[in-house]
Amino acid sequence: PPLYKQRYQFVKDLVEKYKPKKVADLGCADCSLLWMLKFCSCIEVLAGLDICASIMKEKMHTLSPLPVDYLQPSERSLTVTLHHGSVAHKDPCMLGFDLVTCIELIEHLEESELKKFPEVVFGFMAPRIVAISTPNSEFNTLLPGVKLYRHPDHKFEWSQAQFQSWALETARCYDYSVEFTGVGHPPAGMEKIGFCTQIGVFVRKYPQTGESIQSEKPTEAVYKTVFKAVY
């Protein structure tokens, strides 16, 4: 399967493993991953965030309930919400999540946004699990036609050492553990190059109770809700 499908499948497997009830996808783009996740029966709240409203709106209708969802209502309730905003800003609508995914997001952030990102995601949102994927620049020599970066909008692409030192420092700072994996295997004999897409899975070390969070973190709403569906 193509690499993006392998990344989505990785998230799906993570959902099957940890059974989160509330999942937020940051940099959700055209909502393809959210659409896949709506079939995971453990999920009751799904939220997407993107800085680009038009790309989110392209296929957001696919997140609406179908006639069959009304004819055969399921036991679980599901709410899907899309927000327009930046991961550089805190908004209380992102509190209380169990899993936050950032798939191919960080390499699109400007330096100033990347600086604020850890405090927003790990400090403020503080979900139990965070999954971050980003290109592994060491793999680029194996990709035909790639000169500097894989995509013109990438602000950087990190080697394994660069990503791991950023992730380890972030984890240490916000009291998470982090493990590294990826998708897209290197050819046999070239294992040192690592995965084509590198992934860090962060798990919060300290417990947190769902109810107390909101009141402890008074913040003004800054994101704009562009879509909401209740199943």
Q: Out of 49, 106, 171, 183, point to the residue binding ligand SAM (CB under 6 A).
A: 49
**In sequence order, which ranges of the chain are alpha helices (DSSP H)?**
3-18, 32-37, 53-58, 67-71, 111-118, 160-174, 210-216
Which tokens belong to 96?
Answer: 């209380």
The reply on whether position 161 binds ligand SAM by CB under 6 A is no
The reply on whether position 4 binds ligand SAM by CB under 6 A is yes
The reply on whether position 182 binds ligand SAM by CB under 6 A is no
* C-alpha closest to that of 100 among 153, 45, 169: 45
Among the listed ranges 26-34, 37-45, 124-132, 203-211, the one in contact with ligand SAM (CB under 6 A) is 26-34
**In sequence order, which ranges of 95-149 are alpha helices (DSSP H)?**
111-118
The reply on whether position 29 binds ligand SAM by CB under 6 A is yes
Residues from 59 through 88 that contact ligand SAM (CB under 6 A): 86-88
Residues 6+ apart with CB under 8 A from 223: 49, 83, 84, 85, 89, 91, 93, 94
The reply on whether position 31 binds ligand SAM by CB under 6 A is no
CB of 197 to ligand SAM, least distance (A): 10
Q: Are 64 and 209 in contact (CB under 8 A)?
A: no
Beta-bridge partners for 26: 49
CB of 68 to ligand SAM, least distance (A): 26
CB of 22 to ligand SAM, least distance (A): 18
Task: Map tokens 């659409």 to a residue.
Answer: 35
How many residues make contact with ligand SAM (CB under 6 A)? 21
Among the listed ranges 21-29, 118-126, 160-168, 173-181, the one in contact with ligand SAM (CB under 6 A) is 21-29
Q: Where are the beta strands (DSSP E) in 44-196?
A: 45-50, 79-84, 99-103, 129-135, 176-183
Site residues, ligand SAM (CB under 6 A): 4, 7, 26-29, 32, 49-52, 55, 86-88, 103-105, 108-109, 113
